[in-house]
Amino acid sequence: MPLSNNQKGDALDFQQKLLERLHRGDMEALGCLYDMHVDHLMEFGLHYVTEVSWVEDQVHDLFLDLFRARHKALQIQNLKAYLSTSLKRRLFKRNKSKELLIEEDSFKRLLHNDSNHIENSSENKWIDEEQLEYLKLALKTAMDSLTNHQQNALHLRFVENKSYGEIAERMEVSKASARTLLYRSLKILREKVQLLLL
């Protein structure tokens, strides 16, 4: 249900009070602002970059920067727009030099063993059959090192194509917990695969 004008006004007033507290160095206010905006920022960031854990890292760093520059907090007129613009700038700046090892599409293909699609796609022509098999082995080894909980979350997301809400329901956790579990699982998986490919 959309917010009424009064509710929107109350939300903006509350946010302004949080910015005032942030300006004074209140970490709890920063946490509240993070909770208010993290879902929007994650969805926004994933329109530009497909690596979930990396977007999550950039969102976290964005709020750390917000705290470091808290002396300017009261100058922000529209926090949502400010954060979105800042995140977009960060993503485009960092993405120029960052190689994304596991994107959601290629991750799904690897899990489904769709090797023909990977070998023939224009984005992955450099992967020959031997490299592909090695990548699959690295991915399997990395997956085996995850906890059952982490493996289950990844299976639901990438094999069964479940939404965060559906994953939360199946795993009997909150939607936020399901999202965090997936972010962390993907981050661990990416790091382990990168180490195995060194």
Residue 158 has a pLDDT of 81
Residue 21 has a pLDDT of 94
- Contacting residues for 176 by C-beta, under 8 A, at least 6 apart: none
The residue type found at 111 is L
Residue 121 has a pLDDT of 45
Print pLDDT tens along the chain (198 aa).
343 444 455 667 888 999 999 999 999 999 999 999 999 999 888 887 777 888 888 899 899 999 998 998 888 888 988 999 899 888 876 654 443 334 444 555 555 554 444 444 444 444 455 566 667 777 888 888 889 999 998 889 888 888 888 999 999 988 888 888 888 888 888 777 777 665
